[in-house]
Amino acid sequence: MKFTSIPTEKTTALTDLLIALVAAAGICYLQGIESPEAWKINTWSVAFGFIGLCGFLGAIAHGLELTEANYQQIWNLLNLGLALAVSILLIGVAYDLWGLVVSKKMFPWMMVMAVGFYLITRLYSGIFFVFIVYEALALVFALGTYSWLTLTGQLNGSAIMALGILISIVAAGIQVAKNVSVKLIVEFDHNGVFHIVQIIGILFLLAGLRSSLLLP
C-alpha cells in the first residue's frame, strides 16, 4: 500500500479526511442537544454519517495508489453513500416543511430512490450526471424550503440552514467546474476547494440545526 505521489491528490485526500472528522463531530454535537425532536436529530445524524463515510472513502481513493479493481469498488461504495446522504437529507428537510408524519412516510421511498439512482450509475456507466441532477434538485428544494421557512418565520435557524445549503450548492458547482484551483502553501484542485467550501456549509447547517432544535 503506497500513498499517492500527486500533490493535488494528497490535498484532496486530506480535505476528505477533514470532512469525515467534521461530520463525525457534527453527529456527536447533534446527539448532545437536549430536544424532544429525536427523529430530526437522528435523521440529520445519519445524513452526516453517510457524508463522513464518503469523506473517509474519498480519502482512500485519492490518497492511496490502488489497483483499478479496488479503486472502482471504493467509488461504487462512495456513490451509494452519496445517494443515501442526499435522500436522508431530503427526509430531514421534509420534517421541517411538512412534519413528522410525512417525513416518516417518505423514508422508505427515499431509500428506494437512492438505491435506484445508484444502480443506474452501475448499470449504465458514464451517466453519473443523472445523480448530479438528483443532487442539484435536492439542494434547490432544500434551499427553497428553508428560504420559505425564513420568510414566514416558522422555524428558528432556518436562515442559517438556507445559507448552509447555498454554500453546499456553491461547493457542488466548484466540483463540477473542474477548472478551479487554489495555492495556499500547497495546491488544491477543484476537489480540494470543493471539500473546503463544503465543510463551511456543514458548519452552517449544524449551527442552523442547533437553533431549530433548542426550545425557545
Q: What is the pLDDT of residue 128?
A: 59
Q: What is the pLDDT of residue 102?
A: 97
pLDDT digits (tens, 9 = 90+) for 20-57: 999 999 999 999 999 999 999 999 999 999 999 999 99
Number of domains in the chain: 1
- 2 torsion bin: left (phi>0), alpha (psi -120 to 50), beta (else): beta
- Angle, to 10 degrees, between the axis of helix 129-152 and the axis of helix 68-98? 20
Tell the burial category of 157 from Cβ atoms under 10 Å away from its Cβ (0-12, 13-18, 19+): buried
Mean pLDDT over 80-101 rounds to 96
Mean pLDDT over 155-161 rounds to 97
Q: What is the pLDDT of residue 175?
A: 85
Q: What is the pLDDT of residue 215?
A: 64
Our CA angle for 141, 210, 108, nearest 5°, is 45
| Domain span at 30 | 2-213
Q: What is the pLDDT of residue 216?
A: 61
Mean pLDDT over 154-179 rounds to 93
d(Cα 208, Cα 198) in Å, to the nearest integer? 15
88 close to 45: Cβ distance less than 8 angstroms: no
Question: How high is the mean pLDDT of the chain?
Answer: 92
Q: What is the pLDDT of residue 127?
A: 57
Query: Cα–chain-centroid distance for residue 44?
Result: 10
Q: Where are the alpha helices (DSSP H) in the chain?
A: 7-31, 38-63, 68-98, 100-123, 129-152, 158-177, 190-213
Mean pLDDT over 85-90 rounds to 96
29 close to 206: Cβ distance less than 8 angstroms: yes
